[in-house]
Chains A and B, each alone.
Chain A
Amino acid sequence: DQQVKQNSPSLSVQEGRISILNCDYTNSMFDYFLWYKKYPAEGPTFLISISSIKDKNEDGRFTVFLNKSAKHLSLHIVPSQPGDSAVYFCAASAGVSSGTYKYIFGTGTRLKVLA
């Protein structure tokens, strides 16, 4: 059972336009949500995160929105640049015990920004 879902395997966007990547989750107990970017043959790198008590977090060109009632988060990249072409994973963090958490990752969306 996939608790974190990224239903779009790929997305193509023109340079300078907005990229919107979506993520849905099923577990209302998730405390924290993160987005990672991954280039080929490299490990994922952290991009931006949001706590479950917030609905928006912004960092430069990247904004994450959280809609808890819909169990949905999205990553907006404005303006999109060719260097943003990568696979994007969303992840959710759930408490396990004794203040420990573990992450559940989505399946990823491949973003291609066209010059």
Chain B
Amino acid sequence: NAGVTQTPKFQVLKTGQSMTLQCAQDMNHEYMSWYRQDPGMGLRLIHYSVGAGITDQGEVPNGYNVSRSTTEDFPLRLLSAAPSQTSVYFCASSKDRGLGEQYFGPGTRLTVT
């Protein structure tokens, strides 16, 4: 079991560029989510999904898109990167529709210049 995997580990973008952060889990979990971690702000929920084809917004969804075509994958798309999106991004999954422990990936450190 690989658990939750994220790629890439590091990424540098220029303002205005787009990219997709990849997230995959092999635990057959229904619930997947994306967070960003910023100094002094803790972990803030960007988007989450309770199953294939179902997504919803979290606290800070602006500038990000998600889709969930399979149970395993939950990619996060930055449409037009901005310096304010410089952060560490974590993907997580849970079997309990968001009630219960989440399993986190190792994170992607993104810098937007």
Contacts and interface: CB of A to CB of B under 8 A. Distances in A.
A96 B45 contact: no
B106 A43 contact: yes
B92 to A, nearest CB: 8
A101 B99 contact: yes
B44 A105 contact: yes
Contacts, number: 68
A34 B101 contact: yes
Majority DSSP secondary structure for residues of A touching B: strand
Interface stretch (B13-21, B34-42, B66-74): B34-42
Interface in B32-57: 33, 35, 40-45, 48, 50, 56
Interface string B82-113: 00000000101000111111111111000000
B99 A105 contact: no
A41 B106 CA distance: 7
B4 interface: yes
Contacts of A41: 106-107
Contact of B45 (A45, A99, A102, A106): A102
A32 interface: yes
Contacts of A42: 106-107
Given A100-B50, A107-B42, 20 more contacts: A6-B42, A32-B99, A42-B107, A43-B92, A43-B104, A49-B100, A89-B42, A93-B98, A93-B99, A96-B56, A96-B98, A100-B97, A100-B98, A101-B99, A102-B98, A103-B98, A104-B45, A105-B42, A105-B44, A108-B42
